[in-house]
Amino acid sequence: MADKPRIIGIDLGTTNTLVASVRNRIPKIVPTDRGNLILPSVVALSQKGDMLVGGVAKDQMVTNPKNTLYGTKRLIGRKYHSKVVEELKSYFNYDIVEGPEGDAAVMLGGKTYSLEHVASLILSQVKTIAEQFLGGPIQEAVISVPAYYNDNQRNAVKEAGKLAGFDVKRIVNEPTAAALAYGFNRGLDQKILVYDLGGGTFDVSVLQLTGNVYEVLATGGDTFLGGVDFDNRVIDYVLEKFLEEHKIDLSKSPIAMQRIKNAAEAAKIDLTLRLNVVIDLPFIEERKGKPLDLRIPLTRDILNGLTGDLVDRTFKLCDEVLAEKGIKRSDIDEIILVGGQSRMPLVQQKIQEHFGKPPRKGVHPDECVALGAALLADSLGSIDSVTLLDAVSMPIGYGLPNNRVKRIIDKNTLIPLVKSFRLPGPNPATSQFIELDIYQGDSDLIVDNEYLGTVRLPASFAGKKIDFKLTEECLLQVMVEEADGMKKVDLATRDTPEALKKAIEEALVKEPPPSETKQSEEGGGLFSSISKVFRRSR
């Protein structure tokens, strides 16, 4: 009997990517071409015009920062004119530009690349590494994504996998994969909380483990909170101290900034085991022909002071997730840590204080997502396969004439699922067609949600049944009733839907005085998200 095709699990991370495979029911991380267990999620164009991926790409971050792409997972599946992309621009040395479809894209050597293309280069490298190590072709993969990714982001990752030559059998949420690595074949009956603080995102999920059944009870997160935000606090501190001492702003120098970024990340990691370090960068700048060195002490207490509010934000999200399902902190049997930033002593101390118990040791925070993805991959189609009962992390609905969203699928509903409703009549302004603009997000206002696409049908479809179907990967499919049954409808996409334009214009008419506007932007409210979109719609 022929061996079944090799299938791997991939943790496509903001900072690093890992790949794992299962042999004899045991999952193991596949080492990279450099013998490490992690592949830096970095893509670069060398001075000679060669495309580099992984460690060799990271090696040239200081000497060629403009053509070195890192942290792109935070951008994938995002619109160029969005609050997240606008805020991220200042922290990257490379150019973020608008792609052909209005998505965020990047510039490399004068050429525009989609974020799916960039991710596919990393995944292609992973594919080559796995094939060389495992000794044969690999066509199939399970790829993990943050639980709080929306439909656009999930589809973008799946597309990247296809571009890399994979048949992507499943997209799985990172906390769910981590829970699988923790509980697989252990016969547990526990309620666990997965605290996933990675390089670019924070996810929290509460799962009920019963044997090899993994049921997600509640999930939440923040795709704008991760290790790079901790790094940025250290970077800002270093820049401020140097400016105070020498009256020189190093943020204007890409090479200096890259050296500071690398040193800030290294210092943060060192402070996991030590109480104090010195960030020491010789010849960071020169004044009147004389070299200036950067030498700034950093203690664990200073780091905690710089980043304590970020840690507190994670626990606010934990409490919100628990409250949504009426779960008490004392109901949690184990806390599983995922992501390199969860190693921070302040995080572990606050977990002990917050939940009254220490986090579980013995689950590797860097490796567990890839290992869990590999276990899921290996079990697909098996008689004794695991059962994942995952949940949707953000509501989905359609826009109403009053610029609000009518929710069809609620947050934390188990997937896969189908929700049916009747199509409304056509808009009087476009009487020939029924148009439903579909949004995903936690807000009731359309301007604060992610636009997924538009259902556009002839007016004769009014009153017919329409299904919103979420697959086990939390990907949206829309089905409409026709004479011979339910048929799938492809979502149209457009730059800015008319209803969204109208909502933006109305909001701008009511815009508060400058002092209030600044406060709203800092709080991440309505005006922080509409200003960039409005520039695009004009």
The two tokens of residue 236 are 């800002």
For residue 147, tell me if it sits in a domain. Answer: no
Please say if the pLDDT value at position 516 is more than 50: no
pLDDT band at 521 (very low <50, low <70, confident <90, very high): very low
Q: How many CB atoms lie within 10 A of CB 124?
A: 17
Domain closes at, from 304, 324, 345: 304
pLDDT of residue 159: 97
Q: Peptide bond preceding 424: is omega within 30 degrees of 0, i.e. cis?
A: no
Please say if the pLDDT value at position 79 is more than 90: no
Q: CA quadruple 264, 265, 269, 270: dihedral positive or negative?
A: negative
Contact 135, 191 (CB under 8 A): no
Nearest Cα to 165, choosing from 132, 142, 138, 144? 138
Mean pLDDT of the chain: 87
Q: Do residue 280 and residue 400 come from a single domain?
A: no
Burial class (CB in 10 A: 0-12, 13-18, 19+), 502: middle
Q: Mean pLDDT throughout 43-54?
A: 94
How far apart CA 258 and CA 180 sit, in angstroms, is 37
Listed in order, strand segments (DSSP E) in 288-369 are: 290-299, 334-338
Please say if the pLDDT value at position 61 is more than 70: yes
pLDDT band at 459 (very low <50, low <70, confident <90, very high): confident
pLDDT of residue 7: 94
pLDDT of residue 447: 83
pLDDT of residue 171: 95
How far apart CA 34 and CA 153 sit, in angstroms, is 30
DSSP 72: G
Q: How many CB atoms lie within 10 A of CB 460?
A: 10
pLDDT of residue 449: 86
How far apart CA 214 and CA 297 sit, in angstroms, is 46
Please say if the pLDDT value at position 504 is more than 60: no
* Residue the block writes with tokens 């991959």: 377
Please list the alpha-helical segments (H only) found in 479-525. 498-509, 514-522
Contact 454, 494 (CB under 8 A): yes
For residue 508, tell me if it sits in a domain. Answer: yes
pLDDT of residue 499: 59
Q: What is the CATH number of the domain that holds 268?
A: 3.90.640.10
The structure's pTM equals: 0.86
For residue 520, tell me if it sits in a domain. Answer: yes
**C-alpha torsion angle, residues 419, 420, 426, 427 (rounded to 10):** -30
Q: What is the CATH number of the domain that holds 448?
A: 2.60.34
How far apart CA 126 and CA 17 sit, in angstroms, is 8
How far apart CA 121 and CA 42 sit, in angstroms, is 9
How far apart CA 59 and CA 377 sit, in angstroms, is 32
pLDDT of residue 514: 41
pLDDT of residue 506: 56
pLDDT of residue 216: 94
Please say if the pLDDT value at position 464 is more than 80: yes
Please say if the pLDDT value at position 339 is more than 50: yes
For residue 258, tell me if it sits in a domain. Answer: yes
Domain closes at, from 304, 323, 347: 304
For residue 312, tell me if it sits in a domain. Answer: no
pLDDT of residue 515: 39
Please say if the pLDDT value at position 20 is more than 60: yes
The β-bridge partners of 517 are none
Contact 246, 34 (CB under 8 A): no
For residue 247, tell me if it sits in a domain. Answer: yes
DSSP 414: B
The β-bridge partners of 171 are 143
How far apart CA 438 and CA 398 sit, in angstroms, is 4
Contact 507, 527 (CB under 8 A): yes
How far apart CA 464 and CA 482 sit, in angstroms, is 8
Domain closes at, from 304, 319, 339: 304
Contact 327, 177 (CB under 8 A): no
pLDDT digits (tens, 9 = 90+) for 200-249: 889 999 999 999 899 999 999 998 899 999 999 999 999 999 999 999 99
Query: What Cα–Cα distance (Å) separates residue 516 from each residue in 301, 422, 455, 475, 513?
Result: 34, 41, 37, 38, 5
Contact 200, 71 (CB under 8 A): yes
How far apart CA 39 and CA 122 sit, in angstroms, is 9
Domain range for 234: 227-304
- For the chain, the C-alpha Rg in angstroms (whole number) is 24
For residue 24, tell me if it sits in a domain. Answer: no
Structural domain count, the chain: 2
pLDDT digits (tens, 9 = 90+) for 390-441: 999 999 999 988 889 999 999 999 999 999 999 988 876 656 788 889 999 9
Highest mean pLDDT among 27-36, 129-138, 442-451: 129-138
138 phi and psi angles, rounded to 5 deg: -130, 120
User: Which residues, 6 or more positions from 50, have their beta carbon under 8 angstroms from its beta carbon?
Assistant: none
Nearest Cα to 265, choosing from 227, 237, 218? 227
For residue 440, tell me if it sits in a domain. Answer: yes
User: Which residues, 6 or more positions from 404, have their beta carbon under 8 angstroms from its beta carbon?
Assistant: 444, 445, 446
Q: Mean pLDDT throughout 480-506?
A: 71
Largest CA distance in the chain: 81
* Single-letter residue type at 378: D
The two tokens of residue 190 are 């526990």
Contact 357, 184 (CB under 8 A): no
